[in-house]
Structure 1
Amino acid sequence: MTATSAPESYPETYYAGAYWGARKESPEDCARRTAGLLELLAECDPFLSHWYKPARSRKDARKHPLMPPDVPTLTGLFQRGVNREPGGPPIEELGFRFSFDNGGAAGDCATMRINGGMDSAAVPNHCVLTVPWRGPNADRVLTVSVLTKAVRAMVLSWDPDWALATSNAYERQYREPVSAPFSLGWITYLSRRIGTVPPLPEPVHVEQVEGRGTLMVLTPERFTVANPEHIALARSVRGLLAQAGLMPAATS
């Protein structure tokens, strides 16, 4: 596959995500983990300290805050998000879904999508945070400091197999193999269950996350597909991780 540059008219957007394999958990288990995540995210940046229940409009949502997080309330929301066939019983192995946001305007909003409690190899459990791409909130959040804390918060809350914060444009240009369980991001975490991270070249920063696994930060400045040095570094590190058996070989 040949990489092509993203159209200049489209802003480079980013997200953070954590992913893990089959793990049977109850709605209350998912609620406890989510409550812990929201508390940790609130420490990352003020923009990530207010969240609201799903509603028909932002005005309605602001009447129903999720902060401070309440486990019984979150448990009920996960119970409502049980996967089922229309009119049929719950499909227990497919777990529970819950999505919400922080009430921001288009381009200046954070959203959270969680699918937990799945005991199936068909689709990984996941927790995905999309972040703003314009305005002063984006200027603060789209930094190594904030996104590293956000990824760590996901790791400490959900104990995933892998997690990352990355550019959507980079993912579009360098698609992973269909069978790949994970890819490389601007910030990447690999659980020690996956294996041991090899030595990586500068300026990559590597740190441990409380005995759970390894977190890698490619660049201290914002990673972007417009910077060829960033792309070259990402492909080099991706290759080293593949050689160490931590990721499947890339196809592009």
Structure 2
Amino acid sequence: MSWLDQLLSGQTRKRQLISADEALPGRTIPVPVAAEHLLLHHPMRGDADAVDNGIGRFPDGLSAVVLAGGCFWGVEEIFWQVPGVWTTAVGYAGGYTPNPSYEEVCTARTGHTESALVVFDPAVIDLEGVLKIFWETHDPTQEMRQGNDVGTQYRSAIYTVSEADAELARSTAERFGAVLADAGLGPITTEITSLAEAGDGHFYYAEDHHQQYLAKHPNGYRCHAATGLHYPAA
């Protein structure tokens, strides 16, 4: 097999989602992260003992969503700058391996996609406003990839904390899908479901050096394969 055939074969394998039975075993101990967000100075972890929703409980009045749109460094950077966003964190969701390492996720044997937790104040920006930014800042038509990043860990996804939020997310996908279709693009391949229905139902925090990575390394890698199209106004 030539080196090109080997490369293509490897990319094909990385674009195939695995089953729970095929997933790496992972570990029971969560990855330690800093107590607070480097820039927003709010906790990145919710109170896991207060509610079993895959992300824990944040202060009353706040809402949350987990978004995947390519390399999680760049996705998190976009959202920590949005007015009304209370905290962000990067991690892994949609798969089966508990508390995976970054290296394990890169093997495509965890089922997870690189994700960003976005906790926001709906009095300042609501879920549709958050998703407007999400749709406009990546390409949701690139199945199992984003730009040059190829594999299941780069798939587009929206994981919500409730089925009602998932329904709203699906409606935004329909609206943006119509914009894409008018431009001769599509269809949207984004996975949209409540976090409880995604893989094993949890958001797992990435290693601390990945948190707010582009604030620590301003010249670091960004991958935004956006379509250049805008979410339609209400």
Q: Provide TM-score, normalisation by structure 2.
A: 0.31
The structure having more radius of gyration, on CA atoms, is 1
